[in-house]
Amino acid sequence: MTSLSGAIIAAGRGERLRNTTGGVPKPLVKVGSETLLIRQIKAMLALGVRPVHVIVNEETAQLMAEYRISVPPAVDLVVRDTPSSMESLLVLGERIEPGRFLLATVDAVLRLDEFGSFVERACELTAPNRPAQWDGALGVVKWRGDRHPLFAEVAADGQIVGLNGRASESVTAGVYVFSTRIFDHAAAARTRELSAMRHFLALLIEAGMRFAAVRLKGVIDVDEGADLAAARAMLAEDR
């Protein structure tokens, strides 16, 4: 598989999930025998992604120390309280080596084989020697009624031409392969005071960057108690 660095956004508080988890922050919620954070890290490492840059907030870092949760040596752990998912991404962007990187939100749960298939296809699409140049590839899934989806408008040729607009059949799945060229637009995003990663992605499309859609099936975005139950059930089936 093509060499990639990785990035995991895990600095949010996960307020909608806390009533279900007894106040445990989302990255440290367990699915199966592992926390969402450690599971996502291990998945990236299993796919040959190195190094993996991870951002968590101060609360999560403190609890990791208390619970003696450590990360592997290939992981660059950044502890920062950020105001938004966009700012978390931009902080990681200051540490990622130029090239392509795999990005995932901590709450995107999918089977390792589908994760691997996504990375393989995304790397094919974004290869520098392809005639049609893509600046990135976004995993998308069919909308299943999630309450806070990021809708993706996908053209006939597979290009994502709109995000966060009108409702469509596809929503983003929380896994991405990007060129580090996206960070060329960091200053513009901060100037506009954008408040979320979804707004940053919409800005990139507005600026003319081209992203391909890669369709996935079994991805669960863990935002609420029902999502957590579904993720645990999916992984139990695998076992």
Alpha-carbon distance of 129 to 93, in angstroms, equals: 24
Helix or strand run (H / E) with residue 162: strand 160-163
pLDDT of amino acid 152: 95
Question: Does the predicted model carry a pTM greater than 0.85?
Answer: yes
Neighbours of 201 (CB within 10 A): 27
CB 236 within 8 A of CB 32: yes
What does each of the 239 residues of the chain score in pLDDT, given as a tens digit?
568 999 999 999 888 898 888 889 999 999 988 999 999 999 999 999 999 999 999 999 999 999 999 999 999 999 999 999 999 999 999 999 999 999 999 999 999 999 999 999 999 999 988 877 899 999 999 987 777 889 999 999 999 999 976 778 999 999 999 999 999 999 999 999 998 999 999 999 999 999 999 999 989 999 999 999 999 999 888 76
Q: How far apart are CA 26 and CA 141, in angstroms?
A: 22
Residue spans per domain, the chain: 5-238
Give the E-state strand segments of 72-142 in sequence order. Answer: 75-79, 100-105, 108-110, 136-142
Interacting residues of 83 by C-beta distance below 8 A, sequence separation 6+? 195
Written out in words, the top-level CATH class of the domain with range 5-238 is alpha beta
